[in-house]
Amino acid sequence: MSVAASLIATTMNASTPLLLAALGILVAERSGVLNLGVEGIMLMAAIAGYMATVETGSFAVGFIAAVAVGILFALFFAIFAVGLRANQQASGLGVAIFGGGLSAYIGIPYQGAVLPERAADGIPFLDQIPFLGQAFFSQHWIVYLSLLMIPAVWYFLFRTRPGLVVRAVGESPFSANALGYSVPMIRCATLAFSGACIGLSGAYLSLIYTPLWVEGMIAGRGWIALALVTFGTWRPFRVFLGAYLFGGMTMLQMNLQSIGISVPTQFISMAPYAATIIVLALISRNPTWIRLNMPASLGKPFNPH
């Protein structure tokens, strides 16, 4: 029972940064913007949150700083991809490389820095329930926020007028523009939301999940979050399943070792990424299914003239 509870709890912990980033990416891609700079933005948010927390002694300030940096870098990407109508793939890769290099440089003094003490995680009283408390109610509040965001994002996209406008921009920006909607402003707004989610994800990794700062600590999670949106066919609940599948596989390997089943560490590191590649390869065998779900203007710059 304790092993099962530990597996559930660690899966929720490991899946949260992926889920947060993927939900943000989903909203941006629904408006037709493909941002491949997620890895770099997560790294910058992780170091920004870590620096702010170490310097101020406040985790709240750290999370706010990370969200602000996430939004700033997302809008920096928007300057090229939306404002200058540059190639979105090339612009995103540039942001990923730039963010990775800059985070490594400014993070040098903070390697080995000690974070302040923080309050115990969990929901009071509920975390004392046998099994259920350890499995579900002993998490940081951001874990529960990420779960609440799933129905919130779904409701926004599919049950509200602004969500309908976002999807219309992603499907046919010229039609949305003809109806009087500002396609660049809508895409910048979705990118800002995406940056906030990615920033929160990066801060969770450096402040809660690890918690420490190491160069390149995101370790490909930004790319996995991008893949999860395709895996979930741009649907919030499917993205949730993909994120928890990935997190569960990661933690399953570690829990097998804890109960005495020897698994080479190389396989522990490799398995989740290999599973993602296999799943994406299987999905890509049905291009019609992807085409029916993918926003029609995804990755295409909008030029009204």
User: Which domains, from first to last, does the chain contain?
Assistant: 2-293 (1.10.3470)
Query: 59-78 and 38-56 helices cross at what angle (nearest 10)?
Result: 150
Q: State pTM to two decimals.
A: 0.92
- Average pLDDT estimate for 122-139: 88
Distance in angstroms (rounded) separating the CA atoms of residues 302 and 305: 9
Does pLDDT of 255 surpass 90?
no
Residue 209 per-residue DSSP state: I
Residues making up the chain, counted from first to last: 305
- What does each C-alpha distance from 44 to 75, 129, 276 come to in angstroms? 14, 38, 24
Alpha helices in the chain (DSSP H): 2-30, 38-56, 59-78, 88-106, 132-136, 141-159, 161-171, 173-178, 183-204, 221-231, 236-258, 265-283, 287-293
- Where residue 225 falls among pLDDT bands split at 50, 70, 90? very high
- What percentage of the chain carries pLDDT values higher than 90? 69
- The average confidence (pLDDT) of the chain is 90
Residue with tokens 């040098």: 108
pLDDT of residue 247: 85
- Give the end-to-end CA distance of the chain in Å, rounded to a whole number: 63
**How far from the centroid of its chain's Cα atoms is residue 215's Cα?**
18
- What does each C-alpha distance from 204 to 92, 137, 279 come to in angstroms? 22, 17, 26
- Written as one letter, the residue type at 219 is A
pLDDT digits (tens, 9 = 90+) for 153-163: 999 999 999 99
Among residues 297, 29, 2, 22, the alpha carbon closest in space to that of 176 is found at 297
260 or 66, greater pLDDT: 66
pLDDT of residue 219: 86
Does pLDDT of 176 surpass 90?
yes
pLDDT of residue 274: 76
Alpha helices in 31-140 (DSSP H): 38-56, 59-78, 88-106, 132-136
pLDDT of residue 230: 87
Does pLDDT of 130 surpass 60?
yes
Distance in angstroms (rounded) separating the CA atoms of residues 171 and 90: 22
pLDDT of residue 144: 96
- Average pLDDT estimate for 107-125: 90
pLDDT of residue 86: 94
Does pLDDT of 266 surpass 80?
no
Contact between residue 221 and residue 21 where contact means Cβ atoms under 8 Å apart: yes
pLDDT digits (tens, 9 = 90+) for 274-298: 777 777 777 667 666 666 788 999 9
Among residues 257, 263, 209, 198, the alpha carbon closest in space to that of 42 is found at 198
Contact between residue 40 and residue 106 where contact means Cβ atoms under 8 Å apart: no
Does pLDDT of 272 surpass 70?
no
